[in-house]
């Protein structure tokens, strides 16, 4: 039957097939010996296998959420912006529903900007609650980046509309918090809740730096997000710091 279709029609059918249904559709064309169809079956077979691998990876990222499933509300917490020369440190706390099944969530550093933006929308649409915490460059200078990060994390927890019973943290234990905490080394790659928090924090801070770029265009904050790129350091030496620069971070450049 498939021989009655042109190869282009077979391609169009496969392109428009939902990935979960590919095996059934490909089965219809497996008896077709035309080289073009054989290559299409091979291509979409790889796509389906990649999908299965992603399903498995995402399920493996729920190991801590399953381990602590007796807790009703589990919040993942992460930060972004500890290392830049300019801009705030931003943290996020996310409580995901237990049946959250969005694929491709990962450590935000491993995702493209486009994928982070897509996942940001999915997380905000599906999450039980999301809290953001921000500390300014001045606070970072006053109390140091570690203490400013802890402060921003406490703000993110306080911003949650639902109080969590358990916190899954990326590597740290946050002082001054009366909720059980589980620090996980490289947690943003091991826990779906922490990974979701890392994505929301990253997108939030990146958008802030794009807005700062409009105010201080000489520093390319939209491109470097406040990190010490060559052009950023050159502008810093030539023009001097802005109000959003961290004075304690730029002593070697000004």
Edge-first strand order for the sheet with 166-170 is: 129-135, 89-95, 74-80, 166-170, 180-184
Residue-wise pLDDT for 18-69, tens only, equals 998 999 999 989 888 899 999 999 999 999 999 899 999 999 999 999 999 9
SS3 letters across 35-67? HHHHHHHHHHHHHHHHHHHHHHHHHHCCHHHHH
Cα R_g (the chain), whole angstroms: 23
- Planar angle of CA 80, 85, 86, nearest 5 degrees: 75
The pLDDT assigned to 123 comes to 98
Residue-wise pLDDT for 184-193, tens only, equals 999 999 999 9
The pLDDT assigned to 33 comes to 87
Q: Give the right CATH number for 63-204 from 3.30.70.20, 3.40.50.300, 3.30.420.10, 3.65.10.10.
A: 3.30.420.10
Domain definitions of the chain by residue range: 2-60, 63-204
The pLDDT assigned to 2 comes to 60
Spatial distance between the Cα atoms of 43 and 214, rounded to a whole number of angstroms:
44
Nearest to 187 by CA among 104, 69, 100, 108: 108
Spatial distance between the Cα atoms of 195 and 4, rounded to a whole number of angstroms:
47
The pLDDT assigned to 225 comes to 98
């Amino acid at each position: 039957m498939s021989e009655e279709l042109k190869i282009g029609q077979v391609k169009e059918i496969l392109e428009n097939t939902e990935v979960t249904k590919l095996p059934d559709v490909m089965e219809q064309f497996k008896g077709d010996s035309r080289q073009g169809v054989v290559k299409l079956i091979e291509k979409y077979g790889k796509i389906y296998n990649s999908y299965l691998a992603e399903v498995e990876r995402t399920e493996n990222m729920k190991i801590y959420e399953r381990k602590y499933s007796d807790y009703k509300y589990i919040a993942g917490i992460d930060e972004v912006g500890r290392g830049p020369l300019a801009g705030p440190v931003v943290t996020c706390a996310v409580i995901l529903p237990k049946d959250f099944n969005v694929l491709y969530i990962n450590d935000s550093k491993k995702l493209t900007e486009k994928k982070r933006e897509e996942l940001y929308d999915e997380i905000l649409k599906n999450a039980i609650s999301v809290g953001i915490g921000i500390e300014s460059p001045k606070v970072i200078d006053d109390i140091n980046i570690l203490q400013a990060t802890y402060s921003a994390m406490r703000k993110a927890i306080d911003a949650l509309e639902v109080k969590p019973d358990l916190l899954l943290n990326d590597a740290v234990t946050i002082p001054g918090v009366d909720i059980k905490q589980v620090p996980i080394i490289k947690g943003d790659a091991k826990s779906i809740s922490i990974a979701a928090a890392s994505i929301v924090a990253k997108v939030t801070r990146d958008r802030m730096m794009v807005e700062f770029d409009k105010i201080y265009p000489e520093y390319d904050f939209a491109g470097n997000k406040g990190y010490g790129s060559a052009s950023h350091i050159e502008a810093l030496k030539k023009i001097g710091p802005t109000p959003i620069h961290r004075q304690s971070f730029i002593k070697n450049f000004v």
